[in-house]
Chains A and B, each alone.
Chain A
């Protein structure tokens, strides 16, 4: 029986391995970083499963393929189906109107309805509520996939993959740019804070003329603040300006966030192709699956299905843009 070698244990690699195993294939995984951890950019993600919100500034496949994600993840890890709330300060209401024109799947909510959904949000007169969206804890999701795979007999090798592998599936993210030359890194910066004084039960997005800022609840008073989007490949440090913008977004949602403890600062690079959509490419004996950009958890299930379709059934999903087997 063919053994498929998945290279890279980030969200792309683990999702691909999980999908292959679910379809009865034999899989092994290589990652010199070992089990999921801070070495992979998906460790730093927000974990929002928000295809309608993302569609505001993304192309149609993000909405259509992203809608599959919630059920795929729910079969593997806890998913919170509480929707997403989008708000704007009164001076940025034109941005809220623009946002509502560019997407679908929401209800307009007024001040009282916002207070009903999230009593700890103050001073927002208008918002959009995306009831069908969901979120997960990305680190728990990665660990759950990892445990599921181990329990099903998948071997994890804590080392680089041998150079001449048959049936390899390369999910190395930005590391794969040695082969995928049109891949670029898009810098993202995020914070994890603890603020038991504030209770939010769903991701809240604050519209901002320059970037989409969001707060994702992780439970027990812990929140993830994200995320900047910078066309830069410097992943060494967060800038003071980014930190200010992230924290002031939280502060604008509720001034009590000013008392939060800063637990973590995350900086990493999202792998992206020029159109910011993921791709599957078969070059020789290797299938490359990459370019999840800011949609790691949203599009990994569709990417994994596309890879399994190509690997096991030789059918070409829309993400396959090159096949030179």
Chain B
């Protein structure tokens, strides 16, 4: 099993912690789903460590914490936020998010590579939120990233895997790199789809937090991720154009 900077995930479901109706529901969503990783945003809640009560609640979930740089638009902001995250959560992990476009929240991959290099040099273990572009992926690996997090679709859009072909290509191109589909998941079938492609984990937030029943949806996502992972390990059949009966028809008459 692949590790994330030496850490084995107890569960390939990563959940964000924003937008839940209440912290109590957030906690139940984690407990019910068994999600292995919690991502936390520092940019908004940040100022002067003021998110303390909320952050200590996240720590009490007892899951791995992946702080993120959500909402950062420049290398400088992202690096500063990463420093703060390391102090607050005492972890070298950082999900590096550099927003290039305010409407689509599409990553700015040029700044992403630069920030990844700076943070890796400073000893961070970077989880870059990127597009499905293979060359960008190569650059991120060259910058020192040992995990890649391509998007499925724009953040919060719930559209699933927009470019399955490219995500397959990425899996084939980097068989040994832990890959996470991050963003765009709306339904459990999307999460299962990512795992069926051989992805190592799925990260999502809005699909659970903004569901009518976030706890039930978290559980559905956990089941889907597990199903997709099992299916991938079970070596699924290849699709084909013609029917292939599962019981032989020729010779049936002999047995009747």
Contact = CB atoms under 8 A, between A and B. Distances in A.
A234 B47 contact: yes
Interface of B: 19, 21-25, 27, 44-48, 50-54, 57, 156, 210, 212
A174 to B, nearest CB: 10
9 shortest interchain CB distances as A-B pairs? A234-B50, A184-B53, A275-B24, A231-B54, A276-B22, A274-B24, A232-B45, A232-B50, A274-B23
Given A234-B50, A276-B24, 9 more contacts: A101-B212, A187-B50, A231-B23, A231-B45, A232-B47, A233-B53, A239-B47, A275-B22, A275-B24
Interface residues of A, number: 24
B54 A209 contact: no
A271 B45 CA distance: 16
Interface in A193-251: 209-210, 230-234, 236, 239
12 contacts: A58-B21, A187-B50, A231-B53, A232-B54, A233-B53, A274-B22, A274-B24, A275-B24, A276-B21, A276-B22, A276-B23, A276-B24
B156 A209 contact: yes
Contacts of B54: 184, 231-232
Nearest to A229: B19
Contact of A233 (B22, B25, B51, B210): B51
B74 to A, nearest CB: 14
Contacts of B156: 209
Contacts of A234: 47-48, 50
Nearest to B103: A91
Given A98-B210, A101-B212, A233 B52 contact: yes
Contacts of B21: 57-59, 276
Given A57-B21, A59-B21, A209-B156, A274 B48 contact: no
A230 B44 contact: yes
A161 to B, nearest CB: 25
A272 B44 CA distance: 19
B24 A231 contact: no
A306 interface: no
Nearest to B17: A231
A185 interface: yes
A274 B22 CA distance: 6
B160 to A, nearest CB: 15
A278 to B, nearest CB: 12
Given A102-B212, A230-B45, A274 B57 contact: yes
A178 B48 CA distance: 21
A274 B27 contact: yes
A93 to B, nearest CB: 14
A276 B52 CA distance: 17
Contacts of B51: 231-233
Contacts of A187: 50
Interface in A61-97: none
